[in-house]
Amino acid sequence: MAKDKDTGKQTAAAGPATFTVHESVIISLARKAVTGIPGFIRFSGSSIVSDLADLVGSKRRFDKSIVVTESGSDVSLEILIVAAYGSKLGEVAAAIQKAVYHQIVDFTGMNVKNIDVVITDTEDAPEEGKPDEDDVVEGEVVQ
């Protein structure tokens, strides 16, 4: 796998043909893998609005929470997150690493060198059935 210096895209051989994986695809795959992990609250540096926009398929990218570094045929990621207060942080980080690794390898076939998970803060997890304070507008719950 080789990186095109002008476009930031990875080119890989798929039999006799080649294909290109852009950095934004790697970021998208990582974001999707992380969002279902127990103990994950949100990406660091992002807001609830940006996380919801990403979940509904917004094309806008919030790349500052996921940094992709490419070296030859290797790819490394640094993922900044906010974890649930009271969760076992080592287990959350390990689950994120495993999910992201499999997502990238399974979808792209790229060689994932390492995945660093940086937990920048903890927050209380939203309670099931109880609306978040962001869901309340002028005393009414937004459904």
Tokens 């900044």 belong to which residue?
Answer: 80
Query: CA-CA distance, 119 to 115, in Å (whole number)?
Result: 13
In Å, how far are 54, 68, 135, 142 from 131, measured between CA atoms? 21, 35, 6, 8
pLDDT for the residue numbered 88: 97
Q: What is the per-residue pLDDT across 73-117, written as a single tens digit (0 to 9) for each?
A: 789 999 999 999 999 999 999 999 999 999 999 999 899 999 999
Contacts of 132 (CB under 8 A, 6+ apart): 48, 126
Q: Where are the beta strands (DSSP E) in 1-58?
A: 2-4, 9-14, 17-22, 40-43
Span 11-28, average pLDDT: 76
Query: CA-CA distance, 19 to 53, in Å (whole number)?
Result: 28
Report which of residues 74 and 19 the model is more confident about. Answer: 74
pLDDT bin (cut points 50, 70, 90) of residue 7 is low
How far does CA 122 lie from the centroid of its chain? 17
pLDDT for the residue numbered 60: 45
Neighbours of 53 (CB within 10 A): 15
Q: What is the per-residue pLDDT across 50-67, written as a single tens digit (0 to 9) for each?
A: 556 556 654 444 468 999
Q: Which class would CATH give 23-125?
A: alpha beta
pLDDT for the residue numbered 71: 79
Domain ranges of the chain: 23-125
Q: Decide if pLDDT at 125 tops 50.
A: yes
